[in-house]
Amino acid sequence: MSIESPADLEGVRAAGRVVAETIEAMRERVAPGVTTLELDEAAGEVFRRHGAVSAPRLVYGFPGETCICVDDEAVHGIPGRRVLRKGQLVTLDVTAELDGYVADAAVTVPVGEPSPEAAALLEAADAALARGIEAAQAGRPVRAIGRAVEAEASRRGFSVLRELTGHGVGRTIHEPPTVPNWDDPAAFEPLTEGLVLTIEPILAAGGGRVAACADGWTIRTADGSLAAHAEHTILITPTGARILTAA
Ligand code: MG
């Protein structure tokens, strides 16, 4: 969406605050022995307290409040009876709808102490997100974000999963424009003031290809390597990008 009024800004900020609070509630519970369903139930409690609902469930009939991925799963993992083990990576991807506005953010966190490779991958995802946010300046093409994201990932020795992208957001979960995580010539349209979009590098320790899982939702790395995802919803302002899903 493009912000047209103070009410629009307050609406999407309020959805963004629910997303941030939900991620923190889930993150606090990440530990060995916890199931992904327990994390999802913690998200549902925060949603209900605020009168928010799961946007992926609302729009696509996703079978969960949030998308939760483990290790080589990249996006759209279904919460369930899976028990987290020490050393795994878990991605908490939360998209909430509140009073007609939608915001979206994700983090990948370790279960206990991460391996050195996993820790480097997590740092790279955060750094790539930071570079993408810095690049999101009004007047630049959308592809400037992806160029910055992929450069940071490559510099650190990791791949971006090019088939997975950021997107416009604000009134529903997926809006134009598509926000590639690489310097895609197709993403030539300019970033305009008031535009609300996600920036979400999804990096892999191995190659950049993905594969679909048999559950019909989960996308994982094709080579089984670890994936990490860092995402915020941002607003393009005259003075740079403003994060709407920060805690
Ligand atoms: Mg997203």
Edge-to-edge strand list for the sheet holding 196-199: 175-179, 166-168, 196-199, 232-237, 240-243
Domain range for 116 is 6-243
Centre of ligand 1 from the C-alpha of residue 106, in Å: 8
Centre of ligand 1 from the C-alpha of residue 59, in Å: 13
Q: Is residue 216 part of a domain?
A: yes
Centre of ligand 1 from the C-alpha of residue 189, in Å: 19
The confidence score (pLDDT) of residue 227 equals: 98
Give 202-227 pLDDT, tens digit per residue: 999 999 999 999 999 999 999 999 99
The confidence score (pLDDT) of residue 247 equals: 79
Centre of ligand 1 from the C-alpha of residue 202, in Å: 10
Centre of ligand 1 from the C-alpha of residue 25, in Å: 19
Centre of ligand 1 from the C-alpha of residue 93, in Å: 8
Centre of ligand 1 from the C-alpha of residue 76, in Å: 10
Q: Is residue 117 part of a domain?
A: yes
Q: Is residue 88 part of a domain?
A: yes
Centre of ligand 1 from the C-alpha of residue 112, in Å: 26
Q: Is residue 1 part of a domain?
A: no
CATH number, residue 106? 3.90.230.10
Centre of ligand 1 from the C-alpha of residue 179, in Å: 10
Centre of ligand 1 from the C-alpha of residue 88, in Å: 22
Domain total for the chain? Answer: 1
The confidence score (pLDDT) of residue 141 equals: 98
Distances (CA, A) of 23 to 69, 145, 207: 14, 24, 28
The confidence score (pLDDT) of residue 81 equals: 97
Centre of ligand 1 from the C-alpha of residue 229, in Å: 10
Centre of ligand 1 from the C-alpha of residue 164, in Å: 9
Centre of ligand 1 from the C-alpha of residue 105, in Å: 6
Low-confidence ranges of the chain (pLDDT < 50): none
Centre of ligand 1 from the C-alpha of residue 200, in Å: 7
Prediction pTM value:
0.98
Q: Is residue 166 part of a domain?
A: yes
Centre of ligand 1 from the C-alpha of residue 48, in Å: 21
What type of residue is 246? Answer: A
